[in-house]
Every structure is written in C-alpha cells, then in structure tokens.
Chains A and B, each alone.
Chain A
Amino acid sequence: MKWATRRHCHIDRAACAWLIRRFLDQEAEFVFVDDPEELPPDATPFDMRGVELSHHGGDCSFETFLRRYELDDPVLWDIARIVHEADVDDERYDAPEALGFDVALRGLSMVVDDDRLVALTGPLFDGLYELRKRALMLGREPA
C-alpha cells in the first residue's frame, strides 16, 4: 500500500512510518510531499492537516494511529508517551526520554532525506520497543 505524508519528517512521522511497516503493512511504500495538493490519489495520507490519521484533540498522529487501528499493545502506548512529548511537548506525559529523541531526530533530519530517515529510525524504534517491553515486563529498567 502507498502511504503519504509531509516532507521533512520529525519524530511523529518517523514513528508512524515505523508503526505502519511493523504492525499494519509490511510492504508499505512512503511518499513525501510538500503540499496536500500533491497527494497521490491512491495513497493513504497521515500526519497532514485535514486528514483522519493526524493530530486530533491534543493527540499526535502516532496516538491517532493506535486508536484508529485499535492497537492496544501497552508497549506501543508507552512509546506514544515519548513520541507525544518529543512532538507536542505539552507535558501531558512524563517522558524524560523525549528530549533525547527530539534532538537525535532533529539532527538526523538535517543530514539525510526522508527515505533514509525512515530507514535509519526503523531499528531505533525496534530497539525502543524491545527495551520498553522488557521494562514493562520486569516492572523496572532492564540492564
């Protein structure tokens, strides 16, 4: 399937792309556009103004994906806490990790294009998923 979002990805779009590839559509193909007018008609848009899979009622797009696709995995909601704070920064959640993710993704976005950013952040989110899964199972930070 084709998925489309705005160019110059930051954490919310990178996290959504990872979520799509890992949990919704392994064959996902991403298109990055400057303007909603450029959206390919066969693509599902996300994290853009006026589309369903976007910010809603204070939620960032990653949270909207989890709600719309009924992904109730607590590990994903734990990651959503970090993505939300790194993206919206409104102190809705306690997410000290958000600061680090924010600078890492912002720095990366200055030196690579969006395709590469999505490719590079995939393993990063895989690792975060693994770490938070173990932390939730153990009830404390894993070694």
Chain B
Amino acid sequence: MPHRLSESAAQPPRLPYAFDVQPWLQHEAGRSSRPGRWVMLAYRVPRKPSTPRIAIWRRLKRLGVAKVLDGLVALPLDSRTRESLEWVADDVLAAGGEATVWIAEAAALSQERALATRMAEAVASEYDAVAEEAQAAAELEPWLRRRTLARLRRELHRIRRRDFFPPAERERAEAAVAQLAVTLAGAVRR
C-alpha cells in the first residue's frame, strides 16, 4: 500500500493521457467553453553566475514557453510538457534558485486565448523566416540548395516541436520547403 501524508490530503493531479495535447484545439473542436489545463513554472535564478541563467532561459525558449510574467512561464499541459518543466525546475534549484511547478487552469477563456495567440504569433514569425529562406534558396546552385533544404527541414522540425497552436504560417513554410525539394528532384532528373 503506497503511503500518503494523510487520507484527506488532496490527490496529486493525475497525468493526462499522452495524447492529451493541445487542449486549445480540442476546445475548438468540441465547442467547449472550458479552458484547458496548463503546466506553469514559477522560478527565480540568481543573477550571477550568468551561465546557468542563460542555459535555463535557452531551454525554456526551445520548449516554446509562454512568458506570463517575469519568472512565470506556461505550456499547455501534457505528460511531456509537464516533465520538461519539472526537469528545468530541478536545474533552477541546482543553480541555487527557486522553482515550483503548478498545474493551472485559466479562470477565463479569454485569458487562455491571449496566451495561446501570443504563442502562435511567436512561432508564426519563425515559420515566416523559414518560408522566406526556402523561396530565396530556389535561385541557388543545386548543391547549395540541397544543403539549405536539409537545414530548413531540421529547422521546421525544431519549430514544430514548440508549436502548440499551429498558425496558418506553418502550412506556408511547409509548402515552401516542399517546393524547394521539388526543384531539386527536377535537377536530379535533368
């Protein structure tokens, strides 16, 4: 029998199913008016030394977090995002800082929409950069085009990993990269 602090203690939040991603989209599909759940990290890293501070910020950026306030970031809750923020929390503690991880629900749907919109806008500009580069690469020599294609595909993969609310720019970037691949297929045949 696993031991608990007390019978009346609040149950720990259960992990959602692994496929329970993008609560925002599920709401849209289900026309539900209930906000989804988020995992939040409240943290403070000592100003000095700056190396762990910067490493922690880079990790959060890579995860695609929404910054709610200074020292408070959020991601839509799923087992992966929760785990990611928990590992970051441990790194913050190891760097001599303070960190707590929370499961939260926006009190108003509009609050959640604002957060999700900001996150979508952030990845949208990244997708735009990929689309522009893919279009510009069409003029390059085939060998350089091939190299650019490989790099842009990796970049797309990286952005998709932190894209929780896919904007229309995503399709445009994917199409531009696919188009670049088509020009190369032609170059091979010729």
Cβ of B108 < 8 Å from any Cβ of A? no
Q: Chain A residues near B90 (CB, 8 Å)?
A: 49-50, 54-55
Complex formed: what's the CA distance from A41 to B87 in Å?
Answer: 23
**B2 near A8: Cβ-Cβ < 8 Å:** no
Q: Which residues of B contact A89 (CB under 8 A)?
A: 161
CA distance A39 to B39 in the complex (A): 23
For A, the interface residue count at a CB cutoff of 8 angstroms equals 22
The interface bits of chain A over 83-121 (1 if a CB of B lies within 8 angstroms of the residue's CB, else 0) are 000000110000000010000001001100000000000
A27 at the binding interface (Cβ < 8 Å): no
The answer on a CB contact under 8 Å between B12 and A37 is: yes
Report the bound CA distance from A7 to B83 in whole Å.
Answer: 11
**Is B4 in contact with A10, judged by CB distance below 8 angstroms?**
no
Nearest CB of B to A3, in Å? 15
Query: B79–A34 contact, CB under 8 A?
Result: no
The chain B residue with its CB closest to the CB of A31 is B2
Contacts of A99 in B (CB 8 A): 157
Establish whether residues A34 and B12, one from each chain, have CB atoms under 8 Å apart when the complex forms: yes
Q: Confirm or deny: B69 has a beta carbon within 8 angstroms of a beta carbon on chain A.
A: no
Contact with B along A26-52 (1 / 0, CB 8 A): 000000011101111100000001100
Decide: A110 and B18 in contact? CB cutoff 8 A. Answer: yes
Task: List, in ascending order, chain A residues with CB within 8 A of B17's CB.
Answer: 110
- Cα A105 to Cα B2 in complex, Å, equals 28
B5 at the A/B interface (Cβ < 8 Å)? yes
Given A37-B4, A38-B2, CB of A8 within 8 Å of CB of B86: no
B-side interface residues, number (CB < 8 Å): 22
How far does the alpha carbon of A10 sit from the alpha carbon of B83 in the complex, in Å? 11
Asked if B113 is an interface residue, CB under 8 A from chain A, the answer is no
Q: By the criterion CB–CB under 8 Å, are B80 and A40 in contact? A: no
Beta-carbon contacts of B1-35 to A below 8 Å, as 1s and 0s?
01111000000101101110000000000000000
> What is the CA–CA distance of A7 and B59 in the complex, to the nearest angstrom?
24
Q: Which residues of A contact B87 (CB under 8 A)?
A: 49, 55
Whether A110 pairs with B19 at a CB distance below 8 angstroms is: yes
Per the bound structure, the CA–CA distance linking A49 and B85 in Å amounts to 11
Within 8 A of A (CB), among B71-113: 79-80, 83, 86-87, 89-90, 94
Query: Given the interface contacts A38-B3, A90-B62, A110-B19, does A49 sit within 8 Å of B14 by beta carbon?
Result: no
A92→B127 CA distance, assembly (Å) = 24
Contact A33 B2 (CB under 8 A): yes
Chain B residues contacting A49 (CB-CB under 8 Å) are 86-87, 89-90
**Nearest residue, chain B, Cβ from A36:** B12
Smallest Cβ distance from B85 to chain A, in angstroms? 11
Residues of B within 8 A of A54 (CB): 90
Q: Beyond the given A8-B79, A37-B5, could you list 8 further A-B residue pairs with CB under 8 A, ordered by the A residue number?
A: A8-B18, A40-B2, A49-B89, A54-B90, A90-B59, A90-B62, A106-B18, A109-B18
Which residues of chain A have a CB within 8 Å of any CB of chain B? 7-8, 10, 33-35, 37-41, 49-50, 54-55, 57, 89-90, 99, 106, 109-110
Which 6 pairs of residues, A with B, have the shortest CB-CB distance? Answer: A38-B2, A35-B12, A8-B79, A55-B87, A109-B18, A110-B18
